[in-house]
Chain A
Amino acid sequence: MYTSTTNRRSFIKKMAILSAMTTAATLFPGILFANEQERGLPKGGNLDWKKAPCRFCGVGCGVLVGVENGKAVAVKGDPNSSVNKGLCCVKGYHSVMAMYGKDRLTKPLLRQKDSYVEISMKEALDLIASKMKETINTYGKDAVSIYGSGQWTIPDGYVASKLFKGCIGTNNVEANARLCMASAVTGFMTSFGIDEPMGCYEDIDYADVFILWGNNMAEMHPVLFSRILDQRLKRGVKIIDFATRTTRTSMAADKSILFSPQTDIAVANAICYEIIRKGWVNRSFVEKHCNFSKGSTNIGYGLEDKFSFKDNPQKISFEEYKLFLEDYSPEKVEKISGVSAKDIKYMAAHYGNPNSKVMSLWCMGMNQHTRGTWINNLVYNIHLLTGKISTPGNSPFSLTGQPSACGTVREVGTLTHKLPHGVVMNKKDREFAAKIWDVPVENIPSKPTYHTVEMFRALDRGEIKFMWIQVTNPMVTMPKLKRYRDGAKKEENFIVVSDIYPTPTTDIADLILPSAMWVEREGMYGNSERRTQYFEQMVQPPGEAISDTWQLVEVAKRMGFEKQFYYNEETHIEEIYSEYRKHHNNNKHNMAPLEVLKENPGMQWPYVDGKPTQWRFNSKYDPACNNGKDFHFYGKPDGKAVIWQRPYEPAAEEPDAEYPFLLNTGRVIEHWHSGSMTRRIPVLHKAVPEAYVEINPNDAKRMQIQTGDKVKLTTRRGEIIIPASVNGRGVPAPMQVFVPFFDENMLINNITLDAFCPISKQPDYKKCAVQIEKV
């Protein structure tokens, strides 16, 4: 992609060609338009290509950014990146355009009554420090909080955690990744005792069967989906789409199986039932490497303020587990899930086939689920029972949606209970962090405070008075949004928002800070396959914008923490990363040195003896295995993974006579999350300019609704009017509707429910009862 300000038409033509190339690449993975790709780039100019991870999703594609005369003007896939091998999706190809929207924030803005006035960055940083000190002095340290995201670079998240947990002494640190992959984390922690996937994208090149659990990969992870399609062309692999809605993924799959929302739990148990009944259990693997456990049941939905839950794990025997599964025969589960016993047996047969390698992939469908931890456990159960895990091609794999949900939120630990290494509840972990942070260990509180939903509830209740929001847009993405918007707007609260564009979240800010974005600063992201990727600063940020890292460092210094925030402006990223690496200095999580990251298109951890680890827990590949066996699940004290007994329990809100439909929300390929960047990229905005509600054709016919008709959606939280889409790119099952959440002019989250998984605290955006009416 090449943009020339002197030839707008030529630029737009390039956009049109690129859109076509990207679509063609989805249809024909590996397709080449080599001549055109070369021709599109300026020749003999000053274009300087530099590598970076893509700014958008958690796949972490390697891109090459073309810089000319101080401006990023072009993007192409990095052929040296093992992630995407030179391919990008439509968002990636257009990513540099997200930096040049005409309404970029360039100056700090301070609210004065109903308008904002420009102030200098120095004044803004002084004000933040003084407001924080004043709030702490008046209300206590737990009255201040920070809410970041999986778009925080690793240094951003690290200094945020160090400032709030280590220096100020509050665990009021959360990130929007709580909304997108917390259930994946608790799934890993409960099954394996350690976070993040054991496998890697290379598994795609070895697996024979791909089972996608509620995961529209064709739109959400198109580059990885292209890699799977490529394997189908080369090796004839099978793709099974197991979902609640027919999507582009379903259409590309070899088999599409629809289930009733929430009943994936029952189906997963039925698959395990069938694996045991058919004698497909890998007994040797299970005996050597697995325990069986059960936890509490009827665990609630977190709808009440200050909801608390603590699981009560108890070991059980294989025979007890087998008895539990008697309630989940395929024939019984067919009745609640809508999935035929034949299809359940079909999936079980793929998992059970000893000659077949299976990769399970999932993302929001399983994670945004009031039993998100449980369904993660259950998919691991299937892989553990069959021994199909931690070997090339046998891989349960949770995908992520943000560029550093793994790298920053999970690895740095920017959640209330986490530290870079370990958790705040553990004395040794607190001592370890305090030593590196150079703070008294007593500074770090031993109890977590608020998870994301509860943090916004606390803001509404008046317990939190100061909140600093960086790189995220909660006033679009929080469920049951109206309550949290009203709470945030209360006069006694002081809200700071660091962002690159005006958003509904900057609308509630008392102070807005302009941030440097992506390659306007230096940093690192960590992707879904434990790959840490470095990017250098390639262009200058606009106006007074500075990185979120440096905003935090400057405020920390102003608050009196100069000793802990000793970093130099020119070298602070290197200094912070070097300090951060100390937290993971062990062979289970060692991070590659910065010079290695600079030389390579990313490097996977654990990085031991100069080598990345592709498959964890397998002694053939993972140097951390030391039990003398072929596998070692070293996250658990006894080295064994856990097969969990988890029952099916219904959703928090089921349809009834008044609200007879189920509402599901999600994303589209053109827009990234809340749309604040992609809606400023003309080609993407024009492709999908506004949100819509997908309605099943039979429901639409009965209600005389056609595409484009205005439809009113009403839930117990409120109502929204939105155009209908019938037989569009996605088709929901009867009595279900789907709305993408990217459109700030049609805030679907005003009417969603803030029920969450009691273990992960991740909200369920996929199921609430709704009424539909043509208006």
Chain B
Amino acid sequence: MPIKSYLAHPYSGKKNELSEAISCLSHCEVIPAQNENILIVVTETETMDEEKFLKSKLETIKSLKLLTMVSGFNTNKIK
């Protein structure tokens, strides 16, 4: 059950657009910075395949300039 966090860099002037597009995706949470052109994206999926699919969907969003993973967890393995 992967949980991953990413930093999403929007194209200039597209921060709100990117935030709204990510908000529309299932299993995704978006946290925009108040004062910088960057957003945190957290994904929470059931399987690795689902996670890969979600990431590929994220990467097709046109207002997204760059997506970098910050941390990844698999809750089953943490005790």
Residue interface bits B27-39, CB-to-A below 8 A is 1, else 0: 0000101111010
Contact partners of B6 in chain A: CB under 8 A: 20
Question: Smallest CB–CB gap between A4 and chain B, Å?
Answer: 14
* Interface pair B1/A31, CB less than 8 Å apart: no
Question: Smallest CB–CB gap between B78 and chain A, Å?
Answer: 5
A8-B78, A20-B42 known; A28 and B33 CB under 8 Å? yes
Picked from A17, A683, A687, the residue with its CB within 8 Å of the CB of B31 is A17
Determine whether B21 belongs to the interface, using a CB cutoff of 8 Å to chain A. no
Determine whether A439 belongs to the interface, using a CB cutoff of 8 Å to chain B. no
Q: Which of B12-20, B49-57, B68-76 contacts A (4 or more CB under 8 A)?
A: B68-76
Question: Smallest CB–CB gap between A85 and chain B, Å?
Answer: 15
Determine whether A24 belongs to the interface, using a CB cutoff of 8 Å to chain B. yes
In Å, the complex CA distance between A27 and B35 comes to: 13
Contact partners of A20 in chain B: CB under 8 A: 5-7, 31, 40, 42, 70-71
Determine whether B3 belongs to the interface, using a CB cutoff of 8 Å to chain A. yes
Determine whether A16 belongs to the interface, using a CB cutoff of 8 Å to chain B. yes
Picked from B40, B70, B73, B75, the residue with its CB within 8 Å of the CB of A33 is B40
* Interface pair A16/B3, CB less than 8 Å apart: yes
Residue total for B at the interface (Cβ-Cβ under 8 A): 21
Contact partners of A17 in chain B: CB under 8 A: 5, 31, 40, 42
Residue interface bits A1-30, CB-to-B below 8 A is 1, else 0: 000000011001101110111011001101
Helix, strand, loop or mixed for chain A's interface?
helix
Picked from B5, B33, B34, B36, the residue with its CB within 8 Å of the CB of A16 is B5
Q: Which residue of B lies closest to A13 (CB)?
A: B3
Question: Smallest CB–CB gap between B7 and chain A, Å?
Answer: 6
Question: Smallest CB–CB gap between A502 and chain B, Å?
Answer: 18
Determine whether A686 belongs to the interface, using a CB cutoff of 8 Å to chain B. yes
Determine whether A304 belongs to the interface, using a CB cutoff of 8 Å to chain B. no
A19-B70, A28-B36, A682-B78 known; A13 and B42 CB under 8 Å? yes
Determine whether A436 belongs to the interface, using a CB cutoff of 8 Å to chain B. no
Question: Smallest CB–CB gap between A276 and chain B, Å?
Answer: 45
In Å, the complex CA distance between A21 and B38 comes to: 10
A23-B7, A24-B7 known; A15 and B71 CB under 8 Å? yes
In Å, the complex CA distance between A17 and B29 comes to: 10
Contact partners of A32 in chain B: CB under 8 A: 33-36
In Å, the complex CA distance between A763 and B40 comes to: 43
In Å, the complex CA distance between A31 and B37 comes to: 10
Contact partners of A31 in chain B: CB under 8 A: 33-36, 38
* Interface pair B75/A8, CB less than 8 Å apart: yes
A9-B1, A20-B71 known; A33 and B78 CB under 8 Å? no
* Interface pair B4/A16, CB less than 8 Å apart: yes
Picked from A9, A19, A35, A683, the residue with its CB within 8 Å of the CB of B75 is A9
Seen from chain B, the residues whose Cβ lies within 8 Å of a Cβ on chain A are 1, 3-7, 31, 33-36, 38, 40, 42, 44, 70-73, 75, 78
What would 20 more interface pairs be, CB under 8 Å, given A19-B5, A20-B31?
A: A8-B78, A9-B44, A12-B78, A16-B3, A16-B5, A17-B31, A17-B40, A17-B42, A19-B70, A20-B7, A23-B7, A24-B7, A24-B38, A28-B36, A31-B35, A31-B36, A31-B38, A36-B40, A686-B71, A686-B72
What are 28 sample pairs from A and B whose C-beta atoms fall under 8 A apart? A12-B3, A12-B78, A13-B42, A16-B4, A16-B71, A16-B72, A17-B5, A19-B70, A20-B5, A20-B31, A20-B40, A23-B70, A24-B7, A24-B36, A24-B38, A24-B40, A31-B33, A31-B38, A32-B36, A33-B31, A33-B33, A33-B34, A33-B40, A36-B31, A36-B40, A686-B71, A686-B72, A687-B71
The 8 closest A-B pairs by CB, nearest first: A16-B5, A19-B71, A20-B5, A32-B34, A20-B40, A20-B70, A28-B36, A36-B31
